[in-house]
Structure 1
Amino acid sequence: MDIERTKQIKFLLLRCKSLKENMIRTLNDSSTIATGRYASFKKYAEEYGYLAREVYEALELSNERIPCYDTTKMKGWADTFWPQQKEIIDSLVVYTDTLIAFLEREIDFINDEYSNLENFIKNKLRSIIFTPPENEKEVQNAIETLFVGKGWNKGIDYDRETGKFLFSGKEYIPDFIVPKLNLCIEVKLLKDGRKSRIIEEINADITAYNKIYKRQLFVIYDLGVVRDEIEFKRDIENAKDDIKVIIVKQ
């Protein structure tokens, strides 16, 4: 899923939740008498209809049935009784929950894919590096080998050293990007005497990449420097949601 599609789905989810909240507020509004409380039922039905069509198209739900009212045939406030109006709003709340479930399912899929990729690199990377790497490029090459072995296509499923941008006067190029996850991957080779420098680099990367990417994954190939993995990872991962650190030991 690319960046724009992710934004679209999250925006649709926000709109659906907002509509649901407004309808529930109307249903629970005891300050207005029943005969006038549900007067916005047709407006809600129209707004729901617009959202339902957008969700249907965005998620390509060709095999799913999304209920909708034909508002062109729906009578207005003056031509209906309040129990009918309330019944329509009640049903729209249920229908909107269905849209929310579809959208959240799509987002959960992305998060699952992110976790799967993290575990894949963590479990496989060490097994294809036979001698201690001399530089980060060797680790990057090994990760790309894993991607190719996974059946990924460069330029489609992932890309390497693309997406250059400027931040605070400095040029940044992620080692890898995974567009469908809105993810960048940075590789660090941790040698003696470089721990503080690596942490500084990661903190700078987080600030810069946060401008472009929803998710960030740091792959630390450790040549015997890190003693406490939990402590090393904690401050980095606590900086922002969707930041993960993998430490692979030689």
Structure 2
Amino acid sequence: MTVPKIELNDGNFIPQLGFGVFQVAQEETERIVTDALEVGYRHFDAAMIYGNEAQVGKALKASGIPRDELFVTTKLWNSDQGTDSARDAMDLSLEKLGLDYVDLYLIHWPRPDLDRYLESWLVLEEIKAAGKARSIGVSNFHRPHLEKILAGSNTVPAVNQIELHPAFAQRDLRAYGAELGMRIEAWGPLGQGKYDLFSEAALKDAAAAHGVTPAQVVIRWHLQSGIILFPKSNSRARMAENFDVFGFELTADEMASINAIDRDQRVGANPDEATF
């Protein structure tokens, strides 16, 4: 089963479907990432604040899979924003992961109250130039945050990783990203279980029509919308189910019905207000 790859604005390619390790316990991470690798995942989305970079790195190394077949993302945490601290944070993440470079490095949140994200973005440009990250991007950035870094730097982010699921489709932010040539990644692509997504008629009907689960329909909706995503699961069976989404295609009517679920229902923090 081949996961499609999407070209980024810097010429690099990213597997469209990956695996996330948010809220995966340290003591379980190595096993879970190993399971994901055996299922077929090659794209892993990590972050310093998740506390499990070292365990992700151990699983990747033990797999014996060549480095150029893997795509690894990690992120700069809010407390490390700033010139020197951002440089140090990148080096520490690489050390924990046991890697010479990451494929993608992101500013995790804009934290407009700190107002250090432009300063940090300039450091990410240095990190990319030094070969420590192949691509650089942002996470949870709204249009004003993006406009500020575009005005103050020379690099358009390769991606913006944002909360995105059928009830919170972020159409305006996605359209702005498309104008910039910036790809969109979805976190919480299945709604994080914070609302009864799978009872939506549009999803149940499509699932029945294709002989798949509602979760597989949602993942397929993201893929057909051109969105990069990385659902997480501690269950190997669920990992395999989430990966088995390339044997069917949603119709235009099914896509439209799922698009109609959008009701601006955020389940995570608002980046304009988040201060953690």
TM-score higher than 0.5 here? no
User: Taking structure 1 as the reference length, what is the TM-score of the superposition?
Assistant: 0.29
User: Taking structure 2 as the reference length, what is the TM-score of the superposition?
Assistant: 0.27
